[in-house]
Structure formats: C-alpha cells, structure tokens
Amino acid sequence: MRAPLTRGRQKGESVETVDHDSEVEAGQRAARRDEAVRAAVEQGLLGPDRPLVGLLDVTGIRRAAAELRAAFDAATAPGTPVLHAFAVKATPLVPVLRLLHQAGIGAEVASPGELALARAAGIPAGATVLDSPAKTPAELREALALGIAVNADNPQELDRLDALMRSAPSRSPLGIRVNPQVGGGSIEALSTATATSKFGVALRDEGAREWVLRAYEERPWLTRLHAHTGSQGIPLSLMAQGVAETYALAEEINRRVGRRQVDTIDIGGGLPVNFSSDATAPTYAQYARLLAEAVPGLFDGRYGLVTEFGRSLLAKHGTIVARVEYAKTAGGRPVAVTHAGVQVATRTVYAPGAWPLRIAAYDAKGRPKEGPAVVQDVAGPACFAGDLLAREQPLPLLEQGDYAAALDTGAYYFAHHYAYNSLARPGVYGYAADGRGGVAFAVVREPQTVAEIVTESGGAHARALTALPTARDD
C-alpha cells in the first residue's frame, strides 16, 4: 500500500500525538480508499462520462461512531446517560444519518430542512436536539410538539418558549445556550466563543450571568445547559475551558435553586480534524480524557451528557474523486484540470490558507499513481482563476484520464454543493467490502441531472418575466 503524500504538519496545528491503534486504523482506511477508487472505475461509477463522485467509507464511519461512544463510556460513571447527536450540517445525507443512528448516534439539527432529514432517517425525537440561532415560532412549536430538545439562543427566544409552555406542556428537554467567551481559534469564521460571537447568551457580558441564573430560577422546566465552543482551528485546551465554564455555571444554577434542576450538560461538538495525514488526531478518547482531567465533576454521574460532533465523525471517511480532463502547463507549472472545484470544495477554494486539502493521484484505472513528485496545481472546472483544489502540491504528475482524489472530504465538502456555473451535484456512494474480496457500493445520493438543474433554475417559469406588463416607455 502506498502512503499518500502529505503536507508537513503546519505551525500551530493542534495535532495530538498519534497512538498506535489509530495509526493502524489510518493505514486500513487508506487501503480501503485505494480499493474503492479502483472499484469505482472498474464498476463504471467513475469514467469519461461520469467524471466526479463522492465516496463514503461505511466501515470507517461505523468505527468512528463506535470510538466516540467507547471514549465517553470509558470516561463517565456507569449508567450516565450520554446522547451523541451528530451535527447534521456536517453531512446532511439521509442514509448517513440512518447509518449513524444504527450505530447509536442521534442528530443535532439547526433548520427545518435538517430536522426533516433526521426524521426521514428515522431518528427519534428523543435523540434529536434543535440548536439553530434563528428559530421561528412555528419551528419552536413543532419541536415542542414532537418532544425534541431545544436550546434557547437568547432572551427573546426564551420568551417564545415561555408562551409555548404556557399554552401546552411539552416533554421536550429545554435549555439555554451560553457563550463562555473563552476566545477564538485560528479560523475567525468558525470561532464560536469569541467575545462577540453571534451564538448563545454571552456569559461575560454585564448582567448576563445573573440573567441566566434568574431564568433558571423562574423556570423549573429549564433542565439543560448548552455551549458549543470548539471548531476547526480551536485548541483542545480552549475547548476544555469552555466546557469547564459551562459546568461551573450548571453547578452555580443548581446551588442557587437548591436542587439538581440542570440535569444534562450539552458540550457541543467542534473536535478539530487533522487534514495533514491519514491519522485521526486528536481522537475522541484523547478529548474525553482531557475533559475528565479538566472537569472531573462533569463525568461523575450527576449530569447526563449531550455531544454534537460533526466534522470529526465524518471528515476522514469521505473522498471526492475527479477525472483529469486535461493536463497542461502554465508559466512552467503543471496544471491538472479536473471536475472537482468550488462546487464541491467551496471552503478550500475561497479560503485555501485555512482549508488546505491533501490530494492523492490515481491512474486511469484507479490505481495509486507511481512516479516522482512534481509540484503542480489541481484545478476545478469553474470559470474563475481561483478555482483550485490544490496549489503547488507535490504529486506524481497527473495526466489526462487520471484521477485526483481530495481526501478527508466527508464533512462540509461534497455534501455541501455550491451551484456555481450550474455544475451538477455529483453522485455520492457508500462503499464496503463485499465479502468476496471486492468492493460493494450503495447509492447515497443520485447525481443531479441537467434536466434537474433546469427545473431548479426556474425552467417551469421560462416566460414569467417576459409576461409581466411592459412599461409604456420601454
């Protein structure tokens, strides 16, 4: 098996030490990926007329879910209720949610669409958490009618919950989202716990803590407390500090009201992902151990827990594979023009410094490409110069008909289609060993057709604008 080319670890990246098990797991995952790419070409999922696919490693997803559960089971007192709610926004695909559900994982949703996906996947209300920062009265009413947990983002939302609770009792567990304002990480747009972050009640603002304490005192039905302080680019120590401050607030609320009113703490998600090699780092076990050291009381059985991991569950189990349509040079630099660009890797294309991706090279038969590393660009199909999947990456020289694979793209990449240039959403397929030495694929999402693009772009209303009355001076 070939070791894929990797970027060196970058300064400031909080990659924890890689333990032996996760190194073995990383090697197995890379081997499964190589086999899947070859099988995708052999079985015709990829080819001249199907130049782009998203692939999901079903075995890897199952293992990640099992590792998450095992990590918190090992850290918590026996019998502690723990709900791991997958942040649906990371990979909003119904079959993925169903697979996770089967592996004991629920759903964290933040819009009517995400809630509908979770319900379509069969995730029960009791395993669903609603967190969006802009919930309408109708969404809140639906959530409370279904019994879905809701974390109120702000005082105005709490007013709405008050009104709903007065009009009809609900079995929904209800809480408030707080922002411990512990600071941001290296990616500004993803830092949820800065002083001015838009999420939750900013705890360190004047009067805010007292307001939260009183809110719980006055509402015996507020039984949860929520914070989500991590994300890509945030050091683990800062995440742990956010959790510690949330725990301290729960303790303070319970002291104030004189009983264990807050019975569950939702610590959010946000575990960063290592995009620079196949290794899973940090692991859930490392994070759970760190939390157990930093906030021992959180795990002693007095509180139920909710987690909301997204990226760390799915990122390393997805691969975008794109055919090299043309190989050229510009200014002396080789450029492989592929079918994967801004439409499937939007963040990488618009913010390449924050979101670099590793690329693996495969030949026309889908076999790992051999050969000396050549510094080259891997471009996408969109009509603007910045549409590059990778810049100056050393890879075996990509040639026409080869395939370029963007690794670790199972979360926030190919499932988040961006319709630039009316480029079609690629098909997404899950893969697993077929038990006979080969690879079996399952359709997760059909590729979008050109007819669908026309329909979704107002095709049924072609005459709508020309049919409007014409002004006399036109």
Ligand X SMILES: *Cc1c(COP(=O)(O)O)cnc(C)c1O
Active site residues: 383
The dihedral of CA 188, 192, 193, 196: what is its sign?
positive
CB of 226 to ligand X, least distance (A): 8
As measured in angstroms, the least distance from the Cβ of 142 to ligand X is 19
Q: How far is the CB of 212 from ligand X (least distance, A)?
A: 17
Interface stretch with ligand X, choices 7-15, 268-276, 350-358, 457-465 (CB under 6 A): 268-276
| Closest by CA position to 360, among listed 409, 415, 411 | 409
Tell me the site size for ligand X, rule CB under 6 A.
Answer: 16
Cβ atoms within 10 Å of 467's Cβ, excluding its own = 9
* CA distance between the termini of the chain: 68
- Name the segment binding ligand X (CB under 6 A); options: 75-83, 267-275, 365-373, 455-463: 267-275
SS3 category, 140: helix
Q: Minimum distance from CB of 472 to ligand X (Å)? A: 52
Residue nearest to ligand X (CB): 310
* Choice between 228 and 425, CB closer to ligand X: 228
- CA nearest to 392, candidates 418, 353, 427: 353
Binding-site member from 26, 68, 82, 90 for ligand X (CB under 6 A): 90
How far is it, in rounded angstroms, from Cα 298 to Cα 216? 19
Residue of 311, 317, 416, 425 that binds ligand X (CB under 6 A): 311
- Residue of 37, 87, 250, 345 that binds ligand X (CB under 6 A): 87
Stretch that binds ligand X, among 265-273, 347-355, 389-397, 452-460 (CB under 6 A): 265-273
Does residue 454 sit in helix, strand or coil? Answer: helix
CB 323 within 8 A of CB 46: yes
Indicate the Cα dihedral angle 397, 6, 48, 398, nearest 10°: -10
In the complex, the smallest distance separating the C-beta of residue 412 from ligand X, rounded to whole angstroms, is 7
| Site map (CB under 6 A) of ligand X, residues 105-134, x = contact | ---x----------------------x---
Alpha-carbon radius of gyration of the chain: 24
Among 268, 282, 304, 396, binds ligand X (CB under 6 A): 268
**Is the CB of residue 200 less than 8 Å from the CB of residue 154?**
yes
Q: What region, left, alpha or beta, does residue 194 occupy, with left being phi > 0 and alpha being psi -120 to 50 degrees?
A: beta
**Rounded Cα distance, 275 and 352, in Å:** 13
Residue 157 found at the interface with ligand X (CB under 6 A): no
- Contact call for residue 200 and ligand X (CB under 6 A): no
Distance between CA 441 and CA 431 in Å, rounded? 5
Number of Cβ within 10 Å of residue 457's Cβ equals 11
Residue with tokens 């969109």: 382
Among 29, 32, 89, 358, binds ligand X (CB under 6 A): 89
CB of 90 to ligand X, least distance (A): 5
Q: For ligand X, give the closer residue by CB, 310 or 366.
A: 310
Closer residue to ligand X in complex, CB, 269/380: 269
Length of the chain: 474
- List interacting residues with ligand X (CB under 6 A): 87, 89-90, 108, 131, 228, 231, 268-271, 308-312
